[in-house]
């Protein structure tokens, strides 16, 4: 770290997950010194396994990389334009995943860790910040994620004047590739879609007939589950990451219309028979030796997991590198507690980033870390940075976090909930496209596709203008 910097000029970042790591990178690349505080391995969490920075504790997928048609793909593109370390490491460590960007989790974490360790303006402090940061830390980003340590979480709760909302999140099992029976399973991406680093045959597919599916659903519902502690009994689930057995309990056909949908896939072992349901596995590491069960987050006990998941055709002799699990998450009522630059209204020296602000997903968390880093760097040089346009993925997500979903008709509970980036957060187009490039009229689903593509094009154009007008001026300041 540059010793000439004073404590007030230095930005302190608590938590080195995806959001904290990205924030540190953005601050340091703006020429401002950073101390990045990470309590692991001195103190571990319920979900982490290593001391690596930006460790992926759930899926290894960054979801769609299609910037023209998908909001998260658009967010990828915007982050790349802003020099994102998280996206750089993801691109360098991608593994085949159809239309998605998935990564080798160990290689990804190692790349982020090395980049931050090697940066001359970043100091990594491996101690826990227990409670509120010291008063002389004038510029702080709290990016401790959904697994914030109890002393810091309690201090934030007291400072904010209200309880943080808690919910449960779950992780999916990982299987050794060589233990999968490929005489029953096969490689294919849904609709043979080719994605980054992929071939169109990137997922392992395990088919079920109706009898097998019904027995599987029964086993999920009957399987022994993780017990809740007394203080956890009223904690809800986040719908974007439901345990598979909870989905099964919501209706016998729920899984067939969710992670086990059989559409877009043909079994080469029996091409004339349509599977009733299909379990997909996605490559989890660059070597291709590990695959995770897509959408199979679970709270089943480990013995039940092995017994139930080995009833899946192709997984009869599956060896698990990691079994699924459950952990408790917390997030702030950000529209009420944070200002438009992610600062805590009750104590503006504290800025928040990542999943604890009420965004859901790796990329969304990292993107809020990116913006928190840019804001903190501007503060450190006594400059002002206007938010990115609301027409961009970054701007729309910030708008959701700092201004959305707070109004209520009555005195009931707030409606703010964790959310992935989606086109529903973007302002509408001034005029929706009605014709194709050749002049013919758009029909049916073509209108929806054209609308998304127009919103994406608008977003990238507006972001480029914002970068030219504001970030280059800031960098030259």
Could you tell me the two tokens for 341? 């630059």
Is the per-residue pLDDT at 477 higher than 50? no
Between 47 and 378, the more confident residue is 378
Question: Which element (helix H / strand E) includes 336?
Answer: helix 334-337
Q: Is the peptide bond before 41 cis (omega within 30 degrees of 0)?
A: yes
Provide φ and ψ at 31, rounded to 5°: 90, 15
Give how far Cα 257 sits from Cα of 247, 253, 261, 279, Å. 10, 7, 5, 12
Predicted confidence (pLDDT) per residue in 131-177, tens digit = 889 999 999 999 988 777 778 878 887 887 765 445 556 678 999 99
- Which pLDDT does position 166 carry in this prediction? 56
- What average pLDDT does the segment 31-60 reach? 81
Query: Given a cut of 50, is residue 406 above it in pLDDT?
Result: no
Distance CA(264)–CA(247), nearest Å, equals 22
Residue range 416-445, pLDDT digits in tens: 666 788 888 888 898 888 888 888 898 888
pTM equals 0.76
Bridge partners (DSSP) of residue 322 are 174
CA 443 to chain centre: 34
Cα dihedral value 434, 438, 439, 440, nearest 10:
-70
pLDDT at position 167: 56
Q: Which of 35-44, 230-239, 428-437 has the highest mean pLDDT?
A: 428-437
Q: Does position 232 have pLDDT exceeding 60, yes or no?
A: no
**Tens of pLDDT along 304-348?**
999 999 999 999 999 998 888 776 667 788 888 899 999 999 899
- Flag whether pLDDT at 9 surpasses 90: no
189-209 per-position pLDDT tens digit: 998 988 776 788 999 999 999
Given a cut of 60, is residue 383 above it in pLDDT? Answer: yes
Q: Does 410 have pLDDT greater than 90? A: no
pLDDT at res. 230: 44
Strand partners, 100: 64
Say how far apart CA 380 and CA 351 lie, in whole Å.
13
245 near 300, Cβ under 8 Å?
yes
């Amino acid at each position: 770290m540059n010793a000439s910097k004073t404590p007030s000029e230095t930005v302190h970042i608590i938590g080195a997950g995806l959001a904290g790591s990205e924030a540190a990178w953005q601050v340091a690349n703006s020429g401002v010194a950073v101390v990045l505080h990470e309590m692991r391995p001195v103190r571990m969490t319920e979900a982490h396994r290593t001391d690596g920075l930006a460790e992926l504790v759930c899926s290894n997928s960054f979801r769609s990389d299609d910037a023209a048609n998908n909001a998260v793909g658009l967010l990828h593109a915007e982050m790349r334009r802003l020099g994102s370390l998280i996206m750089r490491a993801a691109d360098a460590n991608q593994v085949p995943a159809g239309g998605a960007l998935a990564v080798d989790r160990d290689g990804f974490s190692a790349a982020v860790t090395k980049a931050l360790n090697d940066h001359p303006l970043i100091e990594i402090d491996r101690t826990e910040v227990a409670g509120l940061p010291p008063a002389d830390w004038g510029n702080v980003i709290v990016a401790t994620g959904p697994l914030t340590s109890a002393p810091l979480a309690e201090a934030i709760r007291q400072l904010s004047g209200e309880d943080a909302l808690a919910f449960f999140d779950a992780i999916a099992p990982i299987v050794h590739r060589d233990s999968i029976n490929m005489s029953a399973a096969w490689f294919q991406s849904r609709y043979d879609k080719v994605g980054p680093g992929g071939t169109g045959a990137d997922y392992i597919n395990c088919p079920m007939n109706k009898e097998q599916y019904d027995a599987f659903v029964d086993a999920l519902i009957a399987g022994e589950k993780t017990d809740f502690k007394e203080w956890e009994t009223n904690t809800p689930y986040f719908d974007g990451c439901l345990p598979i057995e909870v989905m099964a309990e919501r209706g016998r056909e729920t899984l067939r219309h969710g992670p086990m949908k059989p559409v877009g896939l043909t079994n080469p072992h029996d091409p004339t028979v349509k599977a009733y349901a299909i379990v997909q596995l996605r490559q989890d590491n660059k070597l291709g030796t590990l695959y995770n069960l897509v959408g199979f987050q679970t709270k089943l006990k480990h013995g039940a997991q092995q017994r139930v998941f080995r009833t899946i055709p192709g997984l009869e002799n599956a060896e698990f590198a990691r079994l699924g699990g459950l952990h408790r998450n917390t997030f702030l009522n950000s529209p009420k507690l944070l200002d438009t630059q992610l600062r805590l209204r009750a104590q503006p020296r504290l800025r928040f980033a990542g999943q604890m602000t009420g965004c859901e997903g790796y990329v969304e968390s990292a993107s809020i870390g990116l913006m928190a880093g840019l804001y903190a760097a501007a503060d450190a040089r006594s400059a002002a940075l206007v938010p990115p346009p609301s027409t961009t993925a970054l701007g729309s997500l910030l708008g959701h976090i700092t201004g959305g979903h707070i109004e209520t008709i009555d005195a009931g509970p707030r409606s703010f909930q964790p959310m992935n980036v989606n086109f529903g957060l973007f302002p509408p187009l001034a005029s929706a496209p009605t014709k194709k490039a050749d002049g013919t009229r758009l029909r049916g689903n073509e209108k929806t596709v054209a609308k998304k593509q127009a919103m994406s094009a608008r977003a990238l154009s507006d972001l480029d203008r914002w970068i030219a007008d504001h970030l280059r001026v800031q960098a030259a300041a």
